[in-house]
Each structure stands twice: as C-alpha cells, then as structure tokens.
Amino acid sequence: MTSNPYPLGLRLHGRRVVVVGGGAVATRRVPALLDAGADVLLVAPELTPALRARVDAGRLHWVPRRFVPEDLDGAWLVHVAIDDPMAAASVSAVAAERRIFCVRADDRTAATAWTPAVTRHGPVTVAVFGGGDPRRAMTVRDAIRDLLAVRLAPDGIAGRPDASTGTTGGRQAGRVALVGAGPGDPELITVKGWRLLTEADVVVADRLVPGLLLDELRPDVELVDASKIPYGPSRAQEEINQILVDRALAGAFVVRLKGGDPYVFGRGGEELLACAAAGVPVTVVPGVTSSIAAPAAAGIPVTHRGVAHEFTVVSGHLAPDAPASLVRWDALAGLHGTLVILMGLKNLAAITATLIAHGRSPQTPAAVVQEATTGTQRVLRSTLGEVAADLRAADLRPPAVVVVGDVVGALDG
C-alpha cells in the first residue's frame, strides 16, 4: 500500500548529502543540492563533463570508485542515481540500516524519499508530488509556474498587507531595482526582471521599454514616465535619480525599468551611485541588450566561426570629430570584426566616412535594424560605403542599430 508522502523542506546547508552515480540523473540532481548549500559527496567511477566541471571548480567532493557503506558516514540524505537495480538496492539497504533517507532514480517505490517537481519564484519554492506520477507532478508544477509568473506575484508573493495603500510589506520595501527590459519584445525581459516588476510600488520607465510590460502593471502602481521629464539630459538624469531615492526612502519598492540592459548606454551606473550615496540598496537585473538582440533579430550573429572573432559595441551619438567623443574611430577602422553602433543614425554619414578614411573597406557589409524584435522591425542591408545614403532613402529612424562586418551576410543561404 502506498500512503501519501509527508512534505518537508530540507535545510541542507553544510550537511553531507551522498550522490551515488555520475551520469545524467546525478547531473540533474546535483545543482539543486549545491544551491541548497549541501556538502555533496559524489561516488561514481566516472562523471559527466558537467559534473567534472563542478568537481574541478571545487564545488563538491568526488570519490572515483563504486559505493562502499562507509560513504554514508555522516550523511543526512542519499541520492541513488544509478540504473543497476542490484547496486541501487544495496545502497538503499545501507541507508535504511542507518536511518538515512534515500531517493532512488531506478525504483521510486523502493525509495524512502521522493523528489518533487519544483518551481522557484524568488523567495518562494513550490514543490509538487504527483501521487507517484512524475509527469502529473510536472504538469501541475508548470501550470503553477506560469500562474506565478503572470498573475499571482503582486499580491501573493510580495506579501502585501494592504493592497489599497500600495505599500509593499515584503522584503523589497525601501529598495530600488535597476531592471533591463530587453530590446522591445515584452517577452524578452528576464524572469527575474518580470517578477520584480510585478512586485513594484513605483515603476520609473524609459521611452524604449516595451509598452506592453507597462500595460500589465497593477492599477495602484505609480508609473513615472522618465522620458517626459522636462529638462535637458543631465538635469533630467538628476531628477530621475532624485525620484528613485525619494520614493525608496519613503518606503516604496522602486523598479527603474530601462530598455535593453541597464549598463549598456543606459546610465544605470549613475543611478546606482546616486542610490548608494543616499543609502538606498539597489539590485541590478541585466537585460537583453539591443546591441546583440537587434542583429540577432535580423538574422545576423555578432560573431561567427571563421568570420568574426570579436564584436565591438560603440555609441555614435557624437560625431567622430566632436571634441567630447571618447571613441577612437580610427582604431576601430583597423579591426576585422563586427562593429555594432548604437544611437548612430544622425551621424552615420560622418561615421562611415571616417571608418573608410582610416582603412575599412567600403565594400564591408553593413545593416541597419530599426525597432528590432517588435512588430514594426525593419532591416536594411547595404555596405559601409552606401549605408548612410540607403538609410536616408529608406527613411529608417531611431531606435536602430547599425551592424558593420562580414557577419552581416554570414547566415545568408
């Protein structure tokens, strides 16, 4: 007779867990044990390359031989991850003798412990047992994961005691998160970025963040449109810094949502420094940057075997001869690899002329990708010598990324 399992959360930090077996099952099980801080001893004559890499990195101990009963000395838990039923049964018998719970990959009915299907959502872990049917457990787990990602987070996860005041009752109050929203497609925000967004009391958003992300905010979230701050660029940045600091010091959880990645021409560093100076804790959540995603969305890999071994991301917002420019365009002209130019449309004629004047061939393939990853994406393919004129003729506009290099045609059939 099978009775229901009794669910427990094992606190394994610093505690010995023995994994017997070094194949695919062990490879899947070990990361969660390490994540829980367990002191993992792996007993197996051979390991997969992934496990070997963890051993080499000093993350776990490995004894390269078959199991002996003494391996369980001091263990709190054992995972049997071998498909030899006789050997598995003998490990499990030693574990039972010593009252150590034993998970068995080969025969769950003979095991004294089961591993659930798990989804993790920030501080919350959901573990599902499927009544002996792992597929059922995974199906239920997937449904819960989707629900947590899309809907339940604002009220269910942040632990809001009083939703009407919009005050976060969870750990995030009085903090700022600098979150990269990705290049345009709302699905290209990271899972962590999305979760923090659903927990925010205040969202300070840039012009380039995907509108659909904002559309899904709760009605009580204060949305500050940073692109509407009516000053010049440097004063506007000071205002934004002040808004972040003021709202956080007032107890709010503030998400500063920025297009692409916060640290790629995103002024995220300035915002972090301003918060740090005011004693406000900051979390940085990297984003998918348009400098890589826009070429990718147009079918252009920024590197390609045998074609480009480097890519350089550069801002074109200042003309090459502008005294304030920090870019060595003459040096960039001497590179063979891929050049990705952001904010470069206005100065493109001067930029391409400078690159050609310093030796880059005018025949070098070039492309412009406008509004990448959105429904209005446009792609222009040209050459370094022609791209500025072609751009004007095609009437392409910002936001757009310019890609220069042989990678532009690398995937063409």
Query: Exposed, middle or buried: residue 161 (CB in 10 Å: 0-12, 13-18, 19+)?
Result: exposed
Dist. CA 251–CA 173, nearest whole Å: 5
- What binding mask, one character per residue, do residues 373-402 give for ligand SAM by CB under 6 A, x or -? x------------------------xxxx-
Check the CA dihedral 394-399-405-411 and report its sign.
Answer: negative
The distance of Cα 168 from the centroid of its chain, to the nearest Å, equals 24
At its nearest, how many Å lie between ligand SAM and the CB of residue 271? 12
Tell me, yes or no, if 192 is annotated catalytic. no
- What binding mask, one character per residue, do residues 135-174 give for ligand SAM by CB under 6 A, x or -? ----------------------------------------
The distance of Cα 406 from the centroid of its chain, to the nearest Å, equals 29
Alpha helices in 148-228 (DSSP H): 191-199, 211-215
Q: Which is nearer to ligand SAM, 259 or 385 (CB)?
A: 259
Residue 290 interacting with ligand SAM (CB under 6 A): yes
∠ CA(183), CA(271), CA(370), 5° rounding?
20
Segment lying near ligand SAM (by CB under 6 A), choices 11-19, 47-55, 144-152, 364-372: 364-372
The letter for the amino acid at 374 is: T
Active-site residue among 185, 201, 206, 261? 206
- From the list 22, 154, 184, 320, which residue makes contact with ligand SAM (rule: CB under 6 A)? 184
Per-residue tokens: 28: 């899947």
Dist. CA 87–CA 100, nearest whole Å: 17
Segment lying near ligand SAM (by CB under 6 A), choices 37-45, 141-149, 152-160, 283-291: 283-291
Q: Which is nearer to ligand SAM, 18 or 297 (CB)?
A: 297
Residue 259 interacting with ligand SAM (CB under 6 A): yes
Q: Are 276 and 282 in contact (CB under 8 A)?
A: yes
Tell me, yes or no, if 228 is annotated catalytic. yes
Residues forming the site for ligand SAM (CB under 6 A): 183-184, 208, 258-261, 264-266, 289-291, 294, 342-343, 369, 371-373, 398-401
State the catalytic residues: 206, 228
